[in-house]
Chain A
């Protein structure tokens, strides 16, 4: 079983709603990530947090707002999303953000925007 836990597993939201995706890891990792995956495509990096600070934003629209309350938790706040934002959102973690460290993924949150 994965040690990166994501909630909720499924989320349906309207384009005017505000919702959040949550992620937790207890491996003592200091780097956490958000990825987006569309059907039949590989995961695409959205954000990287290193030691609780945002270190990489892959030019993600501001309707996605990440937050890292502490070293174990990562949130993704969603507001005014578009139907094309429907996808599997994956949280991941690694020992730190250095190259060579293995990245471990959670099971994902399926988001449908209606």
Chain B
């Protein structure tokens, strides 16, 4: 069964304290791994799409990497405005091409 597990569930950082969020996945025929940021009461905001192991993408303080079993979202020198829930999702090559989400990591960055 296709599955996505995110860890930790919650993470509290001091401003400037770099860290990584983990997304482990089991999927039959990965067709894309997606990272989203979600602020309270709002829809998920797209961050990155990764397609193959070894791929990396960067945007401001965020960098996403992908292996055959997991993805990491590295946050360098975070700021309070980076506080949000970060969602990881995968799509398989099955009949429905569903987006399968993890339960998210709630990140709080203290000033």
A residues near B, CB below 8 A? 2, 4, 6, 41-43, 45, 48, 56, 88, 90, 92, 97-108, 110
Residues in B whose Cβ lies below 8 Å from that of A103: 34, 46, 99
Q: Return chain B residues, CB-CB under 8 Å to A90.
A: 43-44
User: Given the complex, which residues of B lie within 8 Å of A2, measured CB to CB?
Assistant: 43, 45
Assess whether B103 is in contact with A110, with CB atoms less than 8 Å apart.
no
Q: Shortest beta-carbon distance, A105 to chain B, in Å?
A: 4
Interface size class of B (residues with CB under 8 A): 20 to 34
**Known contacts A99-B32, A102-B32, A102-B49: does B102 contact A42 (CB below 8 Å)?**
yes
Central interface residue in A56, A101, A103, by most chain B CB within 10 Å: A103
B residues neighboring A (CB under 8 Å): 31-32, 34, 36, 41-46, 49, 51, 87, 89, 91-93, 96-99, 101-104
A-side contacts of B32, CB under 8 Å: 99-102
Query: How many Å from the CB of B48 to the closest CB on chain A?
Result: 9
21 contacts between A and B (CB under 8 A): A42-B101, A42-B103, A45-B98, A45-B99, A56-B96, A88-B43, A97-B97, A99-B93, A99-B97, A100-B31, A100-B32, A100-B91, A101-B32, A102-B46, A104-B46, A105-B43, A105-B44, A106-B43, A108-B41, A108-B43, A110-B41
The secondary-structure label for the interface of chain A is loop
